[in-house]
Amino acid sequence: MSRFRRFLRTPEAVAGAIILAALIAMALSASLLFPGDPQAIAGPALLPPFQDWSLPLGTDRLGRDVLAELFHGARTSLAVGLAAAAAALVVGSVVGTLAGFADGLVDEVLMRITEAFQTVPSFLLALAFVSVVGPSLGIVVIAIALGTWTGPARVARAEVLSIRERDYVASARAVGMHPLAIAFREVLPNALPPVLAMSSVIVAAAILTEAALSFLGLGDPNRVTWGGMIAEGRAVLRTAPFLSIVPGIALVLTVLGVYLAGEGVVETTAVRRGLS
């Protein structure tokens, strides 16, 4: 419990956690509070915010409810961000562990592949992948993960390289354990903490990448996304700036919240590990 209390004593972490909790609440309650299609027309077009209390944040160019879109967009942002980060962390840890544990050719090949992925800017990679395969939620997740798994892979490999020299790995070999079992049951779990420490940055970056893809019109067309909303609002930026500002603020707060809460968790657990 002291870990939780230490977390509570860090104001940034608490602020991050509150934002994150609000975001999760928005995502979960989206279809309860705003049942039906958020892309359906709900009122007159370009209604400014705070005019009509049934449409508190007004409507966009087509008369769609901005608040409903915001709630449903939270869902997409969170789902894509978490799924892409999870995929990147899993793939990265597995590749890094295999590379670090198998020496020689396997390590060489895996690290060359990692380097090849790293030389291409991750956003360009995502952009190219989506434009070739076509936009859908799953493809967007894969596209983002494609550019982010290399970081976790390098960290996992470095950690595995140091862990595999420890006595307990030699013990496991002497007992007759299979090398893959040693790599994934004995070594990987102990190599994970520094990899997981990267997750807040990875989730935040994934959410931003998703927004950027949607902004460029490469998001899933069947879903409301914040990036798509900003792009929509751009056409009427002078007359109705709120259409871009509202989802923009939501995006900034979300990335900030994820980052702060994630760093808070890492910090408090790291302190605990340092003490024990």
Partner 1 sequence: MSLLTVSNLTKRYPRGGKSIAAVDDVSFHIDPGETLALAGPSGSGKSTIARLVLRLIEPDAGRIEFEDNDFLALSGASLRARRARLQTVFQDPLAAFNPRATVARVLDDPLRIHGIASRSERPRRIAALLERVGLAAELASRAIHEISGGQRQRVAIARAIATKPSLIVLDEAVSALDVSVRGQILHLLLDLQRQERIAYLFISHDLGVVRAVAHRVILLDAGRIAESGDARAVIDAPRSAIGKALLAAAPRLHRTRP
Task: Note whether 165 binds partner 1 by CB under 8 A.
Answer: no
- Among 12, 173, 236, 245, indicate the residue that binds partner 1 (CB under 8 A): 173
Name the residue type at position 259.
Y
Q: Which is nearer to partner 1, 193 or 217 (CB)?
A: 193
Q: How far is the CB of 129 from partner 1 (least distance, A)?
A: 37
Q: Phi-psi bin for 36: left (phi > 0), alpha (psi -120 to 50), beta?
A: left
Q: Counting contacts by CB under 8 A, is residue 159 touching partner 1?
A: no
- Pull the structure tokens for residue 27: 């995502």
Check binding of 171 to partner 1 (CB under 8 A).
yes
Cα 93 → chain centroid: 16
Nearest to 87 by CA among 126, 135, 132: 126
Q: Tell me how far apart the alpha carbons of residues 66 and 45 are, in angstroms, rounded to a whole number.
A: 11
Nearest distance from residue 158's CB to partner 1, in Å? Answer: 18
CA-based angle 108:196:10, to the nearest 5? 150
Does residue 270 bind partner 1 (CB under 8 A)? no
Segment lying near partner 1 (by CB under 8 A), choices 53-61, 88-96, 161-169, 202-210: 161-169
- Single residue of 56, 121, 189, 193 touching partner 1 by CB under 8 A: 189
Q: How many residues bind partner 1 (CB under 8 A)?
A: 15
Residue partners of 167: CB distance under 8 A and separation at least 6: none
Answer for which of 79, 190, 216, 236 binds partner 1 (CB under 8 A) is 190
Measured from the CB of residue 157, what is the shortest distance to partner 1 in angstroms?
A: 19
Provide CB contacts within 8 A for 45, sequence distance 6+.
Answer: 59, 60, 61, 62, 63
Binding span for partner 1 by CB under 8 A among 112-120, 129-137, 173-181, 244-252: 173-181
DSSP state of 183: I
| 104 sits near partner 1 (criterion: CB under 8 A) | no
Write out the residues near partner 1 by the rule CB under 8 A: 166-168, 170-178, 186, 189-190
